[in-house]
Amino acid sequence: MKNSKNVQKYMFGNGSINNLKQILNDKESNSNYLIYYIDEYFKNSELFYKIPITTNDEVFFVQTKDEPKTNFINDFRDILISKNKNNPTAIIAIGGGSTLDTGKAVANLLTNSGNAEDYQGWDLVKNPGIYKIGIPTISGTGAEASRTCVMTNPKNGLKLGMNSDYTIYDQLILDPDLTKTVPREQYFYTGMDTYIHCIESLNGRYRNAIGDAFSKQAIALCREVFLSEDMMSDENREKLMVASYLGGCAIANSFVGVVHPFSAGLSVVLDTHHCIGNCITMNAMEEFYPKEFEEFNLMAQKQGIKIPKGIASNLDEETYQKLFNSTIIHEKPLSNALGDNFKEILSYDKVKEIFKRM
């Protein structure tokens, strides 16, 4: 039975980012500087000039071409130590899943010895991290509510987060104004992460009434957003930001299913980003999630979004073997979806055939 931890506080509403300064002023601290991680997309943007940065603060722009790697996190930690800036009042992350996860990982690493890779796993973080504020600028991953921060260790290819109660944000600012400038494709792919992890949860064997309730409401909101005429209207961007938060809460009480393991395979072997990887995978999931497969395609069609096809249809045998290994390793979600005998269903040939179908 899980003892689920919530984000401590959240502020929701258009323009809520303007309250960041007040929230920081209300926070007691012995320190007089802040650390910002900001998605590089916002360098010199209108948003950037709204952030109350002072000369003492350290600002890092996070590149999102690659998803977080353990050595990135170690490097950020080393820079802060070399500048004697390793005990800030707060770490503030402003961006999408990669940026939010970077903020979480650095906050943990500043108060725990060793390197990021030492904490990939479950409940390995020993000390509470630095107080941290998450400000999402795109909706869907649920990173703002979850107890993990996904990182890849380039040395051994392990893609796994610091799953810990200490990884959860202390404060969220959920400002739907910040998602206005998201490119349409990206908005769809990322939003679909919520839809997909919630339909996986609801179709799984390990469920409870509270996880179900979060998933159902998140899906209801995704339907309102993606089956409407304009998924990016003011009202729909608000709804998707709420859906993302609730989807993160749902995951805290349940498990994902078949989609996420295949998407993880794409990510580890072909460097496909998580959210588009989910959508590419979803397109090959008709046999596992027939109704949702249909609804997913209806949503994509309604919003005029094309899901890339054929990215894994003509690979060599060695690559298929790697994809198979990186997929089948995810025992918890696969047994949640298919039962303890999932390896009988997902033979090498079957997995290869599914990748070819994508």
Which residues of the chain form contacts with a copy of itself (CB under 8 A)?
Answer: 1-13, 15-16, 19, 23, 165, 171, 174, 176, 208-210, 213-214, 216-217, 220-221, 235, 238-239, 241-243, 245-246, 253
For a copy of itself, which is the closer residue by CB, 117 or 238?
A: 238
For a copy of itself, which is the closer residue by CB, 68 or 204?
A: 204
Q: Compute the residue count for the chain.
A: 358
The residue type found at 274 is: H
Residue 58 beta carbon to a copy of itself: minimum distance, rounded to whole angstroms: 25
For a copy of itself, which is the closer residue by CB, 86 or 201?
A: 201
Give the integer Cα–Cα distance in Å for 154 and 72. 10
Q: How far apart are the first and last CA of the chain?
A: 36
For a copy of itself, which is the closer residue by CB, 67 or 193?
A: 193
Q: SS3 string of 207-237?
A: CCHHHHHHHHHHHHHHHHHHCCCCCCCHHHH
Query: CB of 75 within 8 A of CB of 21?
Result: no
Q: Give the CA angle between residues 84, 85, 90 to the nearest 5°.
A: 160
The residue type found at 226 is: F
Residue 19 beta carbon to a copy of itself: minimum distance, rounded to whole angstroms: 6
CA distances from 145 to 167, 240, 242 (A): 10, 14, 11
Residue 230 beta carbon to a copy of itself: minimum distance, rounded to whole angstroms: 16
Residue 72 beta carbon to a copy of itself: minimum distance, rounded to whole angstroms: 30
For a copy of itself, which is the closer residue by CB, 246 or 268?
A: 246
Give the integer Cα–Cα distance in Å for 277 and 271. 9
For a copy of itself, which is the closer residue by CB, 23 or 345?
A: 23
Residue 22 beta carbon to a copy of itself: minimum distance, rounded to whole angstroms: 9
Residue 10 beta carbon to a copy of itself: minimum distance, rounded to whole angstroms: 6
